[in-house]
Structure 1
Amino acid sequence: MTSETTERITVQPKPITNENFARWGQVVRLPDTDPNAVQVNQGTAQKFSHLAEFVNLRPPKTDSANPNKSLDSATANIAIFKCYKPVATPQFGIKLLERHPYSSQMFMPMGGDGNGSYVVVTAENGPDDKPILSTLEAFRCDNTLGINYKPNVWHHPMIVIEKPVQFMTITYESGVALEDCEEYWFTKESGSEDGIAALIQLA
């Protein structure tokens, strides 16, 4: 939900669901029911498969049908993001968004106990290949679930609230900065000295 002011947009985060996040990616969580779940580890565990779609749009260099041979090949980078500075203000200012043109990106909280939260912010891509500020959406998530962005989705770096959260992330990366992660700063759109183009209402 957004409201226009004379200066900037204010966005109220909504609870994330599989349905309202589907255009941006997938919510990664234990399903309530899964007829395809199987017993594993000698009957001591259940396995829930294909909870997110992990995508690498860079074709291998050896692929003769590769339409863009200038792209460097990429490998999966399994990393940990230690988000140690929770936002303590009732509003958070959006100055930039980023996207990963050729890879999905998954964030999965480690050791989630349900007591910490984070906010995901997304936006549509415009005809000028830049994020459309007026389409900002924000989603509130507790730390028992993860999210997986589709390739090329504009989003804000993770906004952690209440307490620090560590995320395991998986992204295909080639080491070429603009191919791995493209940033867009809302300098002109903000019309303000602080560069803030929109506000996320956290409290």
Structure 2
Amino acid sequence: MIHLTLEPITAEAFAPFGTLMPPQPGGTGRLDLIDELVNTRESAKPRLSIAAVTSKALPLVAVEMERHVHSSQAFVPLDGAEYLIMVAPHGPDGLPDMAGLRAFRVPGDTGINYRVDTWHHPLTALGEAGRFAVLTFVDGTAGDEQFVPLPEHVSIGA
């Protein structure tokens, strides 16, 4: 089993995998992500959904990862729930590079946007369950998402 320790998320550490949507200074203003929301299929349409995410205790054992080959994917917490994300670069075989795994603790006032084709673990709330707005481009085919079992389980702890 691989053991990871949660890192506090920063824009720099997360940059290879996507962008952060931090709270606006002073609680007002607007953050536009026009260039970060990417769809590579003309047939795909934006799907905005609300996902209810249950909370998990640490250590969490991860057994799979997913990716969206043709779409970025954005998550915005609606209830202020802190959450955990795990990401990986691509290995030479196109699957998650287990040596490059990283796990981040994300504050409940910060959203994330995964780049197109980013390997990531399914969203997991920490502490309290929460609802998240999720934006993905889909066309209803198998190309919308891919899940793969991990060759070795990953334990993620504080």
TM-score of the two chains, using structure 2 as the length reference: 0.92
CA distance in 2, matches of 1:46, 1:123: 32
Q: In the TM superposition, what whole-angstrom CA distance separates every residue of 1:5-62 from its partner, at most 9, and x where no partner exists?
A: xxx21001111111110100000123449xxxxxxxxxxx63333386100011x3xx
Answer yes or no: is the 8 Å Cα contact 2:21–2:31 preserved in 1.
Answer: no
CA RMSD of aligned residues (A): 1.7
CA distance in 2, matches of 1:168, 1:77: 10
Aligned AA (1:182): Q
Answer yes or no: is the 8 Å Cα contact 2:24–2:30 preserved in 1.
Answer: no
CA distance in 2, matches of 1:132, 1:28: 26
Alignment of 1:155-194 (within 5 A): 155-177=120-142, 179-186=143-150, 189-190=151-152
3-state SS in 2 of match to 1:19: helix
Q: Which is richer in strand?
A: 2
Residue equivalent to 1:87? 56
Residue 46 of structure 2 corresponds to residue 76 of structure 1: yes
CA distance in 1, matches of 2:30, 2:120: 30
3-state SS in 1 of match to 2:29: strand
3-state SS in 2 of match to 1:56: coil
3-state SS in 2 of match to 1:126: coil
Displacement of 1:158 after TM fit? 0.6
Displacement of 1:198 after TM fit? 1.2
**Structure 2 unmatched runs, 5+:** none
Total equivalences in the alignment: 157
Residue equivalent to 1:119? 84
Residue 4 of structure 2 corresponds to residue 11 of structure 1: yes
**Structure 1 unmatched runs, 5+:** 1-7, 34-44, 61-72, 191-196
Displacement of 1:134 after TM fit? 1.8
Q: In the TM superposition, what whole-angstrom CA distance separates every residue of 1:156-182 from its partner, at most 9, and x where no partner exists?
A: 0011110011000100001002x1000
- Of 112, 119, 138, which aligns to 1:147? 112
Displacement of 1:143 after TM fit? 0.8
**Higher relative contact order structure (alpha carbons within 8 Å, sequence separation ≥ 6):** 2
Which of structures 1 and 2 has the bigger CA Rg? Answer: 1
Residue equivalent to 1:194? none
Residue 139 of structure 2 corresponds to residue 201 of structure 1: no
CA distance in 2, matches of 1:52, 1:25: 12
